Structure 1
Amino acid sequence: MKFPELYRRIRIDTIQQMKNQSELFTKRLEKFIKNTKQGKMYGSHGLIMAASVNINWV
C-alpha cells in the first residue's frame, strides 16, 4: 500500500521531532516501521487525510 504524501510527511516529522530523545525516537520509529509493513495508517492523521480529500463524515 502506498500511503498519501501528507500522511508520510506528518509521520516522519513526528518521528524526527524526537531525534534528541533517543528512547522516544526509537519507539516511534519502530512503531512506524511495524505499521508500515502491515500496511496500516495509525494515529489521528487518518482524520487529517480525510479532511484533505474533502470526505464528509456522516
Structure 2
Amino acid sequence: MGDVGGKTRGPEWLDIENSFSSSVNTTANTAKNVGGFVGGAISLVVENNEVSNNER
C-alpha cells in the first residue's frame, strides 16, 4: 500500500488510509451487532410462537 508509481506516499496519505480503514471496521462491527440483535429478536419471537402453539 505504501508505494504508488514508485513514489512513497507522505504521512498525510497514511492518516487518510488509517482513518478510512478504521471507519470501515466500525461500520462492519456495527452491522454485525445489529445483525446479531435482529437475529436474537427473531429467534425469541419464533420461540414464543412455538410455545404458544404447544399450549393450544
- TM-score bracket relative to the smaller structure: 0.3 to 0.5
Greater helix fraction, Structure 1 or Structure 2? 2
Greater strand fraction, Structure 1 or Structure 2? 2
TM-score by length of 2: 0.36
Structure of greater relative contact order (alpha carbons < 8 Å, 6+ residues apart): 1
TM-score by length of 1: 0.35
